[in-house]
Structure 1
Amino acid sequence: MGETSRITPVILSGGSGTRLWPLSRTARPKQLLSLTAAETMLQLTAQRTADVQAFDPPIVVASAAHADEIEAQLAAVGTPAAALILEPVARNTAPAIALAALALPGDAQMLVMPSDHVIADVAAFRDAVAVARSLVDRGWLATFGITPDAPETGYGYICTGEALMPGVHKVERFVEKPDRATAEHYLSTGAYNWNGGIFLFRADAFLAALDAHAPGITAAARAAHEAARREGTRLYPDADAFAASPSDSIDYAVMEKADKVAVVPVEMGWSDVGSWDALHALAARDDRDNAAHGEVLAIDTRNCLIRSDGPLVAAVGVQDLIVIATGDAVLILPRGSSQEVKRAVEALKAQGHVSLDQVA
């Protein structure tokens, strides 16, 4: 594969996004929503690789329930998928990526991206991808380390090792989400980056690593791919074969175990938009640090995220709150505690409540 050949973007769009409930639902998860711009998260992801000189049309791996919406959204921004691989059941990222790899020539370089992340500096992102290409063509598996700007405890970290070429290092190790003191230590050393879950590798190199470290996944993916049903650009892997796959992430199944793993540290204005607090940090705010969306009235109110996709929300004399209103649900919790949404989601699941599935 030469340096002038194009990369195939692989967009993973299988997540349910319940951390942003009640706006994000199983039927319409966060990647299909407009959260930080007029475009949806999926559309923004596809547009990052819309340069036809450098990238082929994307492969999208998603749930069959979202197929029509994904096709419509990508067509609306002129980035239709070359293939839409529709998982019959969720089996985490390693099996999903295996399905995409099996749909490509072995020497194809795959740029694997979550569908629901923010990247403010797209030029820096593309530059980082370009830096990794020659190493990837020699069989290395590359990931992109997000330059940390705070001792975050909600992200995994990558410890950088020896330099392999300018701007690229061998991965020393992947580390789990740390406590606060450990995260502060990581930040002080300058040797750690956040693990953003974005990867570049050849299809054959990834499948070989998966065969070596998680052969049950490749066996199931190959069987599902070989027995797949095709309808135009849609590919439906065999349900029974794919269901037999172990459920595992690419990090655990491959990246933490393979030998030739490289990291490209990059500052690109990245966020996984993993909570309402993260969205408040990204949003435009007034002089009292309020971020408002929809029909909102804020009087003597400070440091709040108030979003309404339904009724008028009037906030008077409050501070440090997250208030999210849809047509059928309202969420209220303190700023800084937005990860606690999961407690509401778990309680609603236990009740079998329809608001987790319905589109608000």
Structure 2
Amino acid sequence: MVDRALGCGRFRASLVPKQFLSVAGDNTLLQDTVIRLAGLDLAAPMLVCHEDHRFSVAGQLSILDLDHQGIILEPVGRNTAPAAAIAALEALTLAEDPVLLVLPADHVVSDPVALGQAVSKAAEGVKKGHLALFGVTPSAPETGYGYIRRGAELLTDLYRVDEFVEKPDHDTACQYLADGDYLWNSGMFMFSAKDYLEALQAYSKSIYDSCHEAYQTLVREQEFARLSEEAFSRCPSNSIDYAVMEHTAAAVVVSLNAGWNDVGSWSSLWAIGDKDEHGNVLRGDVLIEDTRNTYVHAKASPGVHSGS
């Protein structure tokens, strides 16, 4: 399993990336990501992060005594396709034919049992040589997500990918919701390390070559494995979707209904929170009056909110 712990998110506190924040409970999003996977039949996670965040990642895992297989340090951000390639190359040194579950470290999944079922379904496709994505069944005409149009059903809840579509306008999103064949693109993947690297070499050879070269520069320091900045900086920046999935005929999508949320906006913080009888989500020492359907978080000092 690979946790992608690099992105800074769309809201920050003191420039702290959101995966290091406790926005959905007592644990941080990174800690919750690792914890929810501990009950699945997976190896301990391998993490990929920017080298500036190495001590935050290691410290948050250590606090809860969470096991891992190492932390790969990127000197510069190059998006998800290179990160997955480096992780795949590393995984191949640990097992003969490893399967990677690639996850962002800053998402919420409220139903880990349903996630486990989706992972098991994706594994069936991976055994047949497919590269799997996890598509979330939409609950609203969301304009902030990319969509995946599913095609023929290959196995129960496992479909061929017919099309990737960019973030739609509201009217188009309403059409997607009514159609029933469009899923939100969660940014979560599962594939064998060998199949991913072969596809990357076929469709984005410059990324493959750059990552292969950069991996040779890996320097290990205790739990960290550091890539050379000179080598890795030459790697093009691209996502797994654009570099591989939109090109390969082996792409499949698994339906995911597990309370997924990418925590990408203030409204999503309200959506994932425990609400009082007036629809308010209150965190910390908060006093409210005449307030409904509002998110209030007071961390360092008491908070007062009046009016909705």
Moved >3 Å (runs of 4+): none
Aligned to 2:284: 294
Q: In 1, Cα distance between the equivalents of 2:149 and 2:191?
A: 19
Question: 1:288 Cα deviation (Å)?
Answer: 2.4
Q: Distance in 1 between matches of 2:280 and 2:153?
A: 43
In 2, the alpha carbon distance for the partners of 1:130 and 1:301 equals 43
Q: 2:30, 2:106 within 8 Å by CA — same for their partners in 1?
A: yes
The aligned residue for residue 38 of structure 1 is 26
1:132 to 122, 139, 142: 122
Q: Which residue of the other structure, out of 55, 76, 82, is the alignment partner of 2:69?
A: 82
The 5 Å alignment of 1:165-184 reads 165-184=155-174
C-alpha deviation, 1:307, in angstroms: 1.3
Give SS of 1:20's match: coil
Shift of 1:39: 1.2
2:51 to 64, 69, 73: 64
The answer as to 2:227 corresponding to 1:237 is yes
Q: 1:196 aligns with which of 186, 189, 199?
A: 186
Residue 300 of structure 2 aligns to a residue whose secondary structure is coil
What one-letter code is carried by the residue in structure 2 that aligns with 1:50? A
Secondary structure, aligned partner of 2:301: coil
> Please, which of 241, 244, 249 is the counterpart of residue 259 of structure 1?
249
1:209 aligns with 2:207: no
Match for residue 342 of structure 1?
Answer: none
* 1:306 has 2:296 as partner: yes
State the identity as a percent.
41
Between the aligned partners of 2:292 and 2:247, the Cα distance in structure 1 is 47
Matched residue SS, 2:209 = helix
Q: Which runs of 5+ in 1 are unaligned?
A: 1-8, 320-360
Structure 2 contact 37–112 (Cα < 8 Å) conserved:
no
CA distance in 1, matches of 2:228, 2:52: 16
Equivalent residue letter for 2:128: R
Paired residue for 1:20? Answer: 11
CA contact (8 A) 1:144 1:264 kept: yes
Count of residue pairs brought into register by the alignment: 305
How many Å separate the matches in 1 of 2:170 and 2:229? Answer: 42
Whether the aligned pair in 2 keeps the contact of 1:71 and 1:80 (CA below 8 Å) is no
Q: 1:347: which partner in 2? A: none
- Show the 5 A alignment for 1:102-121: 102-105=89-92, 107-121=97-111
Given that residues 2 and 48 in structure 2 are in contact (C-alpha distance below 8 angstroms), is that contact kept between their aligned partners in structure 1?
Answer: yes
Matched residues in 1 for 2:48 and 2:20: separation?
14
Pick closer, same or farther for the CA change 1:20–1:162 going to 2, 3 Å: same
* 2:164 equivalent to 1:156: no
- Structure 2: gaps (5+ residues): none
Partner amino acid, structure 2, of 1:20: F
Name the counterpart of 1:331: none
What TM-score do you get using the length of structure 2 for normalisation? 0.95
Amino acid at match of 1:86: L
Give the aligned CA root-mean-square deviation in angstroms.
1.3
Contact 1:223 1:238 in 2 (8 A): no
Structure 2 Cα separation of the partners of residues 14 and 84 of structure 1: 11
- Is this contact kept in 1: 2:2–2:87, CA < 8 A? yes
**Residue in structure 2 matched with residue 344 of structure 1 by the alignment:** none
> For 2:39 and 2:216, how far apart are their aligned partners in 1?
31
CA distance in structure 2 between the partners assigned to 1:57 and 1:315 by the alignment: 43
Of 146-155 and 163-172, more deviation after overlay is shown by 163-172
Secondary structure of 1:148 counterpart: coil
Following the alignment from structure 1 to structure 2, what is the Cα–Cα distance between the partners of residues 181 and 42? Answer: 35
1:228 to partner: Cα distance = 1.1
Choose from 240, 248, 255 the match for 1:250: 240
- Cα deviation for residue 234 of structure 1 reads 0.9
Output the CA distance in 2 between the equivalents of 1:285 and 1:202: 41
